[in-house]
Amino acid sequence: MTGRASLRELPPGDSGIVSARPGPDLTAAGYVETEYVASGAAVSYAADELPADGHWSLREDAHADYVTRVVVRRPDEAAASGTLVVEWLNVSSGMDAAPGWTFFAEEVVRRGHAYAAVSAQHAGVEGGLSSVSVGDLGSPGLKGGNAERYGELSHPGDAFAYDLFTQAARAVADDLGATCVLATGESQSAFALTSYANGMQPLAGLFDGLLIHSRGGAALPLGRSGAGLPMAEVITGTPTRLRTDLEVPVLVVQTETDLFGHLAYLPARQPEHNRLRTWEVAGTAHADKFVIGDFEEFLGCAEPVNRGQQVFVVRAALHHLERWARGGSAAPTAPPLEVVGDGYALDEVGNARGGVRTPAVDAPVEVLSGLGVPGASNICRLFGSTAMLPTARLAELWPDADAYLAAYRAAAEAAVSAGFVLPEDHDELLADSRESLLAQA
């Protein structure tokens, strides 16, 4: 078993985690946010081979000291569920971001779960280039952005990220007395959790479940000392499945963007089994309007970004994973998205067939795609697109608003009944209807 990080509380201040959405009011919910310096000695790992079936056999390699940071959001002890959700922060922008928290914060808070955000990778601490922007843009990292607060941090390189993540998560879990510990990561962090599941989880045995959100076909490499991992190198790796002998449940949530293009998850698709569920969500993109909020215009995309209803599905995924990890019933199974050649089978209005369904695609007024328009920048490809249906087509589908709302409500009920939307989100989902767009047509 690997070690445990030492935690030292930092004074109150800006945590430096990038988010375009403020999330729930933690104070009103009785939550306290605390930032820690986490330090220890981590190991890196080596392997003779990393087979594509995910059954990796790792051995300890080098050792290095580290000093990173962890942000913890915890409820009042009397309201605590005992579950800790640990996010591997995403560094694709060159700085720490928490897309998982953006999607599932409401579910965490209403259940009384604790949450920890770990600066696991080199770029988040030491700075690095963005893998999603146009040009050589990057970030100075925590240290360069606020030397007074973070000057003592020191990351030995992504080769040590896996053990560093484990040690930080273990320290927070021990401190809170957590009875269920879940790991989660989105995008580049999902690549990392794929590798973690295949190599580290069998060794450390820390996590009771893993939520892998928007992974590509490859797994994150084992890393290098003293450096980060360029995503241009990562995404060209061998398509790799998740090992089939894990003793804890894994739930994979995928968008339309993830299966094709440079992310290329499709060759890594695998059958579900008693410890694996994969939800491919129709009408969704790797990132979307919910994530970017009012900052959409700064992306510079030629078309409106994806306005699918991924957020509701991600909340449900976390809910089912937590119940499953605690010995309850397994998460629902879902059909895959229907694929034809190098694209999706489309319905009569142009939305993808199959997969997890939401009212936005089953009672459509828009074409919601996870595939960027031709010539789109890297960032705009990840945000997909939204196109309004022609006025004549809308009139054929929905002779009046009542007809549309009846179909939308029925689709919402179906999504809740199937378990892909939570009952607690039913009213918010209804409020997300696109009735106003009919009046604009």
In terms of residues, how long is the chain? 441
User: pLDDT of 156-203, one tens digit each?
Assistant: 999 999 999 999 999 999 999 999 999 999 999 999 999 999 999 999
138: pLDDT strictly greater than 50: yes
User: pLDDT of 231-240, one tens digit each?
Assistant: 777 888 999 9
Task: Please give the Cα distance from 423 to 107 (Å, whole number).
Answer: 12
The pLDDT of residue 137 is 60
313: pLDDT strictly greater than 80: yes
The pLDDT of residue 427 is 98
Does an H or E element contain 232, and which? Answer: helix 231-234
The pLDDT of residue 318 is 98
Long-range contacts of 134-142 (CB under 8 A, 24+ apart): 134/377, 134/378, 134/379, 137/94, 138/94, 139/93, 139/94, 139/95, 141/94, 141/95, 142/16, 142/69, 142/95, 142/96
The pLDDT of residue 134 is 42
The pLDDT of residue 114 is 98
The pLDDT of residue 133 is 53
Percentage of the chain modeled with pLDDT above 70? 97
Task: Please give the Cα distance from 124 to 95 (Å, whole number).
Answer: 5
Selected residue with higher pLDDT from 178 and 137 = 178
Structure tokens at 147: 């030397």
1: pLDDT strictly greater than 70: no
Task: Please give the Cα distance from 198 to 303 (Å, whole number).
Answer: 38
User: pLDDT of 73-127, one tens digit each?
Assistant: 999 999 999 999 999 999 988 889 999 999 999 999 999 999 999 999 999 999 9
Least confident of 132-146, 329-343, 391-405: 132-146
Which range is most confident: 13-27, 139-153, 356-370? 356-370
431: pLDDT strictly greater than 60: yes
Burial group, residue 373, by CB count within 10 angstroms (0-12, 13-18, 19+) = middle
Burial group, residue 185, by CB count within 10 angstroms (0-12, 13-18, 19+) = buried
Percentage of the chain modeled with pLDDT above 90? 85
How high does pLDDT run on average in the chain? 94
Task: Please give the Cα distance from 100 to 81 (Å, whole number).
Answer: 19
305: pLDDT strictly greater than 90: yes
User: If pLDDT is split at 50, 70 and 90, which confidence band does 395 have?
Assistant: very high
Domains present along the chain, CATH in parentheses: 1-248 (3.40.50), 290-441 (no CATH)
228: pLDDT strictly greater than 90: no
The pLDDT of residue 214 is 98
Selected residue with higher pLDDT from 129 and 416 = 416
135: pLDDT strictly greater than 50: no
5: pLDDT strictly greater than 90: yes
User: pLDDT of 13-70, one tens digit each?
Assistant: 888 787 778 889 999 999 999 999 999 999 999 999 999 999 999 999 999 999 999 9
